[in-house]
Amino acid sequence: MFEHRYVSDHLQKAVEAFSRLPGIGPKSALRMALYLLKQGEGESEDLAESILTLRRKVVYCSGCRMISDAPLCPVCSNPERDRGIICVVENVRDVMSIEHTGRYKGLYHVLGGIISPIDGIGPADLAVEPLLERLSKGGVREVILALSTTMEGETTCFYLYKKMASLAIKITTIARGVGFGDQLEYTDELTLGRSIENRQPFKPE
């Protein structure tokens, strides 16, 4: 790592702190620190304040475990959302992505990860029990498993399926296949093979 200590201990510390953020190397961190030095003090105060408020005020929704400013997130507290459907996702970002599509009107459940023995993450590390608790209260008719189509995602789907199989709830997964706008020649073999096996009736829209 580039050493700035001969210049300024304070600069060095700021560069180190920025470098711990994901995707930020020492060069970007230096650029960020020098930028802040050039701006008025208000810019740094605003950034520091936002960081502290973010960490101290943001909580996890008691319903779906999504991040939220209130005990119940805007989705869970919205009376227009369909409380009969729960979409299970790995993380907060997945909720954002699905919300961004504007195509889903049910609730969510954030697992906080997926089963990954190689990373030492087992079912006990995920919000599986809270999910089963939510389902035990009744009123849910469908659970959508919207997890990555990786080995870990499939394992987690299977585990959740087994846990929920005894409940009278429909369990679905998001559709898999060739992405819209994808060219066949660049689609991997597994996806293409399964897409042919799972072919569907053509519906002109």
Task: Name the residue nearer to a second copy (CB basis): 40 or 179.
Answer: 40
Hey, what's the torsion of the CAs at 80, 68, 139, 172, to 10 degrees?
90
Helix then strand then coil, in percent of the chain rounded to 5, is 45, 15, 40
For the purposes of burial, counting CB atoms within 10 Å of the CB of 159, is it exposed (0-12), middle (13-18) or buried (19 or more)? middle
Strands (E), the chain: 59-60, 67-68, 82-89, 106-110, 142-145, 170-173
SS3 120: coil
In the complex, least distance from residue 112 CB atom to a second copy, rounded to whole angstroms: 9
Distance CA 185, CA 161 (A): 34
Task: Name the residue nearer to a second copy (CB basis): 111 or 157.
Answer: 111
Contact set with a second copy (CB under 8 A): 2, 4, 6-11, 13-14, 16-18, 20-24, 28, 30-37, 41, 43-58, 66-69, 73-74, 92-93, 95-96, 99-100
In the complex, least distance from residue 130 CB atom to a second copy, rounded to whole angstroms: 18
Task: Name the residue nearer to a second copy (CB basis): 19 or 164.
Answer: 19
In the complex, least distance from residue 171 CB atom to a second copy, rounded to whole angstroms: 27
Count of all residues that appear for the chain in the document: 205
In the complex, least distance from residue 64 CB atom to a second copy, rounded to whole angstroms: 11
For the purposes of burial, counting CB atoms within 10 Å of the CB of 31, is it exposed (0-12), middle (13-18) or buried (19 or more)? middle
Task: Name the residue nearer to a second copy (CB basis): 96 or 132.
Answer: 96
In the complex, least distance from residue 146 CB atom to a second copy, rounded to whole angstroms: 17
Task: Name the residue nearer to a second copy (CB basis): 100 or 203.
Answer: 100
